[in-house]
Structure 1
Amino acid sequence: MYLKKNGFTLLELMIVVVIVAILAAIAIPSYQSYVRRTNESMAMQEMQQIAIWLERYKARNFSYKGANPPRTDTINIPTYSTNKLCSGGTYGGTFTIQLCEKQAGGSYSALKNSSIGQSWAMRSETTDPNNYTLLLTSSGLRCKNKASSNVTFETCGTGSENW
């Protein structure tokens, strides 16, 4: 009499493990790429909203002097705070936007502490080393670079792309 055994053989189990590993090897990098693109888009959106606010401020006050953009409500972010370089905020823990103005002598300061108030530059740096660092200026420069050390408040350096 033949008894049928229930269960899986080791070979069947190994085939399932290999199939799951192959699917994970394809899905995980694809998901990471999706998250990077999402974070980059969020940073661009926030920078553009701040730029719009700054242009409205200049239209009312004839300069950017004293400008301190409020919190934007597209995502929950803290209000601007003064850091070691200029005013900025951390957005969802994924990127930091710094808003500065170049002063006489080449130093940078927050617009709210500005003595000139004729231009601004925004730099967005991400916590993900595989994502872009972005630059947006009042003169219309929009560039990005994966090497964050190449991105200053004036240029994106070598290897940059426009956005």
Structure 2
Amino acid sequence: MNQRYMLSRSGFTLIELMITVAIVAIIAAIAIPSYDVYIRRADLATAQQEMLKVAALLEKHRARNFSYDGFVLKGTATNQGAYYAVPTATNTSLLLPLNASSGDQKFSLTLTVNSQAWSLQAVSQSPRNYSLLMTSTGFKCKTKTVANMTSSSCGNSAEDW
């Protein structure tokens, strides 16, 4: 009798395995979209942080030179830090994260500058994430509709950030 009991309890039944697979599938269905949202929020926060750094450096450049002229974003071939100012350079865009190569970037940061004003756009490569705009007047907005974004407005579906 003891041997018969041992033979009937060795292993899992198909029902037990199906229940386990169903539980794992439910947990994955909840966890994966939540993780995706978390990653998009982290990428957005990184873009906002980099935009604020560039804005601070632009204001520092203006305080030294009485103009925004001459401030450019770092080219990928230089090793002079994240940002620098060179009067003869013409680079006005930057890929985020900073170590990203073309095609791997999460955001493309574009600077439009003249002597008295600037505009900074961070365009998301993902249509599910926000694109950002920041200007020298302190205007900051975000939108998921990149086509409506200009150097001074995020369009009708804009939100503040």
In which range does the TM-score fall when normalised by the shorter chain? 0.7 to 0.9
Take 2:91 and 2:130, find their aligned partners in 1: how far apart are those partners?
Answer: 20
Matching of residue 91 in structure 1 with residue 89 in structure 2 = no
Q: Which runs of 4+ in 1 moved over 3 A?
A: 77-80
Q: What stretches of structure 1 of length at least 5 have no aligned partner? A: 72-76, 102-115
Matching of residue 67 in structure 1 with residue 65 in structure 2 = no
Rg comparison, structure with higher value? 2
Name the amino acid aligned to 1:94.
K
Take 2:155 and 2:72, find their aligned partners in 1: how far apart are those partners?
Answer: 28
Across the aligned residues of Structure 1 and Structure 2, the Cα RMSD in angstroms comes to 2.1
Name the amino acid aligned to 1:66.
G
2:15 to 5, 11, 16: 11
1:9-158 correspondence runs (5 A) = 9-70=13-74, 87-92=92-97, 93-101=105-113, 116-158=114-156
Q: What stretches of structure 2 of length at least 5 have no aligned partner? A: 76-80, 85-89, 98-104
Partner SS for 1:68:
strand
Name the amino acid aligned to 1:150.
N
Partner SS for 2:133:
strand
Q: Which of the pair has the greater relative contact order for Cα pairs under 8 Å at 6+ separation?
A: 1
